[in-house]
C-alpha cells in the first residue's frame, strides 16, 4: 500500500524535483500540501503544516522542502503527529536542531530521513568505493553557480540562517564526507559577505584530514555562463574527478559513470525514504552541516560589494 504523503513548501525545488519524483513512484501517494503562497492542482492544500496534519490525519509521512529556517518546527509537528519525516537540505537552521529532531524521531518511533540529494548522484557510490583502500594526497572542490538563475528573487537565502553560498556549497561537502574514508575538519576559511546581506556570497575553505591532507574548496554564487560543480581527489595510486554535481565520474581521466541530470537524484531519495520507513529506521548525518557551521566559527569575514537578489 502506498504511503500517503504531505508535501510542505511548494516552491521551485518542490515543483521541479519532489512532485515529479513522487508522481513516478507507486510507493507514495501525494494527498496534501502545506504552503502559504502556492497550491498543487488536484491535491488538498493548506496554509500551514499544522492545519494539514489536523485535517488529513491519515497521512503516513511528510516531506519538508521549505527554506531551512522553517524546517525544525515543521519536522517536530510531523513527528509528534506520528508521521515519518523527510527533510530537504540544508537540514535546519542550527546543528542543535538536528540533534533534537533525531532524538524526537527515536522517541516517537518514526523515521527521520535527513537528506543530502547530491549523495544520490550517479557517480558518488563508485567514487566512494574506488577511494576505499587508497591513500588520499590532496584535493580541490570548485562549486560555482549563478544565484540569480537557481534562486531568482529569493531573499531568504541571504537572510540570517539562509546560508548564502553554503546552500549549494553544502552539496559539495555532503559528497566529500560520503566518499572520503576519513573525516575532514575546517582548518581555515574566508567568507565574503555582501555589505547589504547577512550570508556569504563566496567562500574559500581549507579542509584537513587527521593525517594532514588538505582539500581546498572554492564556493561562489557569482558565476555567469557555464556552472561548475567539480570535486577532484588525488591519491598515491590515481585520481578521480566528479563533475556536474557528482553526476559524472572520471577515474584517471577515463569516464566511469555519467548521468548529470538532477532529476535522477530525487527518485533515488524517495526510494530510500520508502525503504527506511519500511524498516523503521532513521538516517541522519549532519557532518556537512557541521563543516558549514565550523566555517562560520573560524572563518575570516570579508565585506564585498552589495548584492541584489
CA dist., res. 248 & res. 114, Å (int): 24
> Catalytic: which of 89, 144, 188, 224?
89
Encode burial over 106-130: b for 16+ CB neighbours within 10 A, e otherwise: eebebbbbbbbbbbbbbbbbbbeeb
Residue 86 C-beta-side C-alpha neighbours within 13 Å: 29
Measure the CA angle with vertex 82, ends 78 and 85; round to 5°. Answer: 45
H/E element holding 232? Answer: strand 228-235
**Residue 89 annotated to the active site:** yes
User: How many residues can be counted in the chain?
Assistant: 309
Q: Where are the beta strands (DSSP E) in 41-173?
A: 44-46, 61-64, 84-87, 112-114, 136-144
Q: What are the φ and ψ backbone dihedral angles of 284, each rounded to 5 degrees?
A: -135, 125
Is there a contact between 269 and 65 (Cβ–Cβ < 8 Å)? no
Which residues does the annotation mark as catalytic? Answer: 89
Amino acid at each position: 500500500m502506498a504511503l500517503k504523503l504531505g508535501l510542505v513548501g511548494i516552491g521551485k525545488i518542490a515543483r521541479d524535483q519532489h512532485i515529479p519524483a513522487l508522481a513516478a513512484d507507486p510507493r507514495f501517494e501525494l494527498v496534501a500540501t502545506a504552503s502559504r503562497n502556492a497550491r498543487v492542482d488536484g491535491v488538498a492544500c493548506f496554509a500551514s503544516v499544522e492545519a494539514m496534519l489536523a485535517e488529513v490525519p491519515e497521512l503516513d509521512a511528510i516531506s519538508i522542502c521549505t527554506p531551512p529556517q522553517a524546517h525544525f518546527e515543521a519536522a517536530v509537528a510531523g513527528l509528534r503527529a506520528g508521521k515519518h519525516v523527510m527533510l530537504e537540505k540544508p537540514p535546519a537552521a542550527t546543528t542543535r536542531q538536528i540533534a533534537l529532531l533525531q532524538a524526537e524521531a527515536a522517541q516517537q518511533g518514526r523515521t527521520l530521513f535527513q537528506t543530502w540529494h547530491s549523495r544520490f548522484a550517479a557517480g558518488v557510490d563508485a567514487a566512494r568505493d574506488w577511494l576505499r583502500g587508497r591513500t588520499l594526497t590532496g584535493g580541490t572542490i570548485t562549486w560555482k553557480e549563478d544565484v540569480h538563475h537557481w534562486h531568482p528573487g529569493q531573499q531568504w537565502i541571504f537572510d540570517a540562517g539562509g546560508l548564502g553560498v553554503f546552500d549549494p556549497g553544502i552539496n559539495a561537502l555532503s559528497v566529500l564526507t560520503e566518499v572520503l574514508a576519513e573525516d575532514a575538519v575546517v582548518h581555515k576559511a574566508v567568507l565574503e559577505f555582501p555589505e547589504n546581506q547577512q550570508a556569504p556570497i563566496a567562500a574559500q575553505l581549507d579542509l584537513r584530514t587527521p593525517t594532514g591532507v588538505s582539500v581546498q574548496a572554492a564556493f561562489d554564487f557569482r558565476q555567469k555562463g557555464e556552472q561548475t560543480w567539480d570535486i577532484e581527489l588525488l591519491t598515491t595510486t590515481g585520481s578521480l574527478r566528479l563533475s556536474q554535481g557528482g553526476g559524472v565520474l572520471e577515474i584517471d581521466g577515463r569516464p566511469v559513470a555519467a548521468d548529470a541530470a538532477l532529476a535522477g537524484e530525487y527518485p533515488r531519495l524517495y526510494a530510500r525514504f520508502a525503504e527506511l520507513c519500511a524498516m523503521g529506521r532513521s538516517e541522519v548525518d549532519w557532518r556537512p552541516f557541521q563543516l558549514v557551521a565550523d566555517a562560520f566559527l573560524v572563518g575570516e569575514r570579508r565585506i564585498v560589494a552589495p548584492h541584489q537578489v
